[in-house]
Structures are given as C-alpha cells and as structure tokens.
Amino acid sequence: MGKIAYVFPGQGAQYVGMGQDLYQNLPDAAEIFDKADEVLGYAISRVMFKGPETKLGETEVTQPAILTVSTAILEQLTGHGIIPDITAGLSLGEYSALIAAGSMEFEDAVALVEKRGRYMQNAVPVNTGTMAAIIGLDKEEVIGCCQKASHLGVVEAANFNCSCQTAISGETRAVERAVEIAKSMGARRAVVLQVSAPFHCSLLKPVGAQLKGELDSIAIKDAAIPVVANVTALEETDSGTIKQNLIKQVSSPVLWEESVRRMLALGVDTFVEIGPGKTLTGFIRKIDKGANVMNIGDMETLEKALEKLEGIKCLS
C-alpha cells in the first residue's frame, strides 16, 4: 500500500467563519480554540468566526488562526487512529506539520507563529515590499524575470508552487517591473498580490535572527515521523536541523513542488490537506494528476475524509 502524507496550508488560506462548525460540534476541537485564546491572551477564535476580515488578515493574527484550525482538525484524525507516514506544510504550514510529527507542542507553536507574523510584518516598512504570482512560465524563466528587474531593487523567486506557478517577492518597484517582464515573455497571468509583506526573500533575513531567539526558548523534539522542509525539500527528523530550517525558511524560497515530488518518490500516494482552503490540493493535482488528494477544512469534509481514510487504513 502507498503512504499517507498530511500537508498544511500557509497564509492566504484564511476566511471569516473558518473553524466555527468544528468548535460548535466537536468538544475536543473547541478545546484547541479555547487554548489558543488563553495562550494569546485574546479571543482569536472570535476573530476567526466573526471577523472582521481586515483583522483576520493581519499577519500576526492570520498565522496563529490558521495553525489553530489545522491543529483542531489534526486532533480529530489522531483521535481516530489515523497517523500519517510523512508530513509537510507550506511556509506557516510547516509549524502545523511539526505539531503533527510530535516535534512541537501546540501551545508553543501558536505563541511562536504570532510572534513570527509580527516580526515578518515589521521587517519591511509598509508599502515598500510586495509579492506577485506568475503563472505560465517555468521557474528558470521566472528567475530570469527577477534578474532583469533587479536593478530596481530586491526581487527574488519566493514560492515554487508547481511547474507553472511561481511567486516572487521583494521591493515593490522591482516586483512590479518583474511582472511587466513576465507578461512580455508570455506569462498567462502575472499579478501583484495583496499581501502585507514580501515573504520568503532576503529582505526578511533579520526575522531569522529574531526567530532563533524564540526557538531557543521552547522545546523542539526530534520528529516521530519525517517532516519535509520547505528550504531543502528533504525529509527531516532531527530537532537541531528542524530548528535551523525554520530560521532559514522566512527568507528562503519555499520548494513546494520539489517537496511534493520528494514525498511521491518516498511512496506517498494519498495527500490530505488539513486546514482552511484547497490551495495545496490544487497544486498537488497539477504536480501529479494520479495522486489521491483530499482536503479537510470543516465538518462536512472531515466526515468524508474520515470515511475514506479509515477505508485506506483497513486495507493496509
């Protein structure tokens, strides 16, 4: 039988109302939301359920919010005895993956990603940095666009999501110029994104030093199952290496397509996206049309996935 991978979404997957039906129907899920409120010192669950959208979209709110929903769903799967063979997450999602792998405790992670979000937001002055999505060019062409625009400032490939979609990040003028160059090269779509900071580029290197101080203050254990790291696209269980990967991650490109291909090479044939949205499900289907992919973001998708996963578990 093939292996199961749990994958976790990053920032951008959030929406007002996420997690509310889990809270209302599942007492052990409600405990996770209540714990997040307690650790953070305010009712982040209320922001998730009721908004406003502008507040939920603040990086230091978005990151712990998505992690909380992902963990609440993860607890349901664990409670049914469904344990993955390997796990990974996109950017912020890597912290949820580490919780799934037993490397990090939820209480530590939710406090940490709130600080991570604040550090990332404050690293670059408002309106001086941004990101863009380029669709329809391969990664070498996108890197070329960035090189041609770099005389205007920092602009770098930030997320290699799948073969036809790459995100770039950097100083606003340089990113905008790279978008123009991408369009002239025949990109199907090249658009500046509505983001609060230029994630995963060298402008965020100072955040790594700030994160190191936070990571040194919490317990990070060896992972019980392998976690495929964003920065290397290789599986890891060693706690020291995991910590170093998290420090590098904020200013390094996310190698998502390579990470998925690595999991496929290791025998994964079922991917379960855990958390709000379906972004990773879409990427994985583009990377491998034959992969069995499902997403769990609410009660309805949880019930469907549990039925499928328990069937897979029985077959194995």
Residue 173 exposed, middle or buried by CB count within 10 Å (0-12, 13-18, 19+): middle
Angstrom distance (rounded) from CA 163 to CA 169: 18
Domains and CATH numbers, the chain: 3-123+203-315 (3.40.366.10), 129-195 (3.30.70.250)
Q: What is the pLDDT of residues 145-194, one digit of tens each?
A: 999 999 999 999 999 999 889 999 999 999 999 999 999 999 999 999 87
Residue type, 176: E
Position 141, amino acid = E
Indicate which residues carry an active-site annotation.
Answer: 91, 200
Return phi, psi of residue 233, to 5°. 60, 30
Mean pLDDT of 252-257: 97
Percent with pLDDT over 70 in the chain: 98
* Distance between CA atoms of residues 224 and 98, nearest Å: 9
pLDDT at 127: 80
Separation of alpha carbons 295 and 287, rounded Å? 16
What band does 313 get if pLDDT is binned at 50, 70 and 90?
Answer: low
Q: State the average pLDDT for the chain.
A: 95
pTM: 0.96
What is the mean predicted confidence (pLDDT) over 135-147? Answer: 96
